[in-house]
Structure formats: structure tokens, C-alpha cells
Amino acid sequence: MKKHLLLVSIFLFQFSCGEYQKVLKSSDADYKYQKAIEYYEKADFARAMPLFRELTNMLRATKKSEEVMYYLAYCHYNNADFITSSYLFKNYIKTFPNGSHVEECMYMAAYCVYLESPSHSLDATYTQKAIGELQQFLNKYPKSSKSEKSEQLISELHNKLAFKAFENAKQYYITEYYKSAIIALNNLLIDYPGNSYREEAHFLILKSSYELAVNSISSKVEERLQNTLDAYLVFNDNYPKSKFIRQAQKIEEQTKQSLNNLNN
């Protein structure tokens, strides 16, 4: 029985390969288009893709050329070739500005760039590019069925950039470059006002301010201790129930004691 099934499988495979070779060699564009659609609908993108690629020339300037470019872009997308698929979706929009898939292709072009956005620790070029393209889509189609999803993706990408900025700023604190840490953390709060790391960023500003003050030359100690108290007031006003509040209060006490010692 198993041997019989194996023979049947081999026969079907050989027949399938023979049929596909026949399609490849055919000069009938309509037949090729029909078979390409069949392969695509069966999710056989490896076979559909070469056919659609060939059909871009065979059906150029015909009514079917729009659909050929549309399907070719999706073949690359379904094969996880997101850079090429993004290019092809954009090429569809450029070639058919009044086409029936323009809105969808604009979203998919941006979404493919989003899928290429790497981990926060790597280069942020694709992350920033995806934000820009998704925002362009929202600006053009604010009432699209994809508008909510686009907003979610933009928020996710902003948070990824914010985390990268936060980790870089935190590294300054860890390596005891306190002045640089304060600058970088304040830039984080300005550049990404809605980020998820605001509370810890404010706390690290407080800690960095204190460490900078107590490690300063004598002429700058008092001014920097005052800056530390200001940082504490900002933190306490915004996060009175923070998990860092006890540490923050201890820093405030130490700062006030240091100021008292200076005055005495």
C-alpha cells in the first residue's frame, strides 16, 4: 500500500512539473495569466512569481497589466521578500495612480518597510522610514479601514525608537557620564513625550543630577545640588506613587544634608 502511494505521489509530481514546464514555454499570454492566478490561489507563490514577472512584459499596456503587477508584489510579500514587495507596491501606485488597488498598495508598501524594521539595538533607518510612510498613508487616507492599524504600528515604532534612546541614555549613567546622561534623558523626554520609559527616565535624571553634584568641583557643587532638588520636585509631582519614590526621597534627604553642610 505504501509503495503504491509513493508511486502515485511520484507520478503526480512528475505530471505537475511537466505541466508547469508547458506553462513556462507557452507563448499564450492569456493561458499563462490563467495558470499564474491558479498557482497564486493555491499559495504556490514560487511558481506563480516567474509567470507574473514574465507577464509584466507580455501584457504591458493591456487591461491585465495592472493585476499582474499587483499579484507580483504579493508574490514577493508572501515569500517574505519585503524590500522587493514594498518597491513593487510603490511601482504599482506610480504606474497606475488611479488603479483599483492604490490605497491597499500604499498601505502594503509602508507595512513591508515596517516588517523590515529590526530590533531596537540595530540601525533605526527602516524604523524611521516605516514611521514616515505609515504617516503618509494616514494623511492621504485618514478614514481607511487600515488607519487604526497604521496608528498602532506607528506607536509601536516610536516606542522602539524611544527604547533605543533610553538604553543609550542609560548607558551614560552606568558609565558615570552623568552630564551626558542628563542631556540624553531630557532629549528622550522631548523627542518621545508619550514613551513608556518616562518614569524611569525622570528618576535617572534625579540620580544623575545628584551624582554629578557630589562629584563636581567645589565651585559648582551648590548649584548642582539645587538642580538635584528641582529634579526631585519634578519627579515627586509626576510620580508620587512610583516604585522609585523611596529612593528618590533618600536622594532628596542626602541633597538637603549636603547643602546644609555647605552652608555651615
Average pLDDT over all residues of the chain: 91
Return the C-alpha cell found at 80.
Answer: 517574505
Whether the CA torsion 95, 96, 102, 104 is positive or negative: it is negative
Q: Which residue has the higher pLDDT, 164 or 16?
A: 164
Tracing cell 503587477 back to the chain, one arrives at 69
Tens of pLDDT, residue by residue over 57-87, are: 999 889 999 999 999 999 999 999 999 999 9
Query: pLDDT digit string (tens) for 116-155?
Result: 987 555 668 889 999 999 999 999 999 999 999 999 999 9
- 242 pLDDT exceeds 60? yes
Task: Inform me whether the pLDDT recorded for 166 exceeds 60.
Answer: yes
**pLDDT over 80 at 13, yes or no:** no
Residue 4 has pLDDT above 80, yes or no: no
**φ/ψ bin of 80: left (φ > 0), alpha (ψ from -120 to 50), beta (otherwise):** left
pLDDT, greater one: 46 or 6: 46
Residues in Cβ contact with 216 at an 8 Å cutoff, skipping those fewer than 6 apart: 224
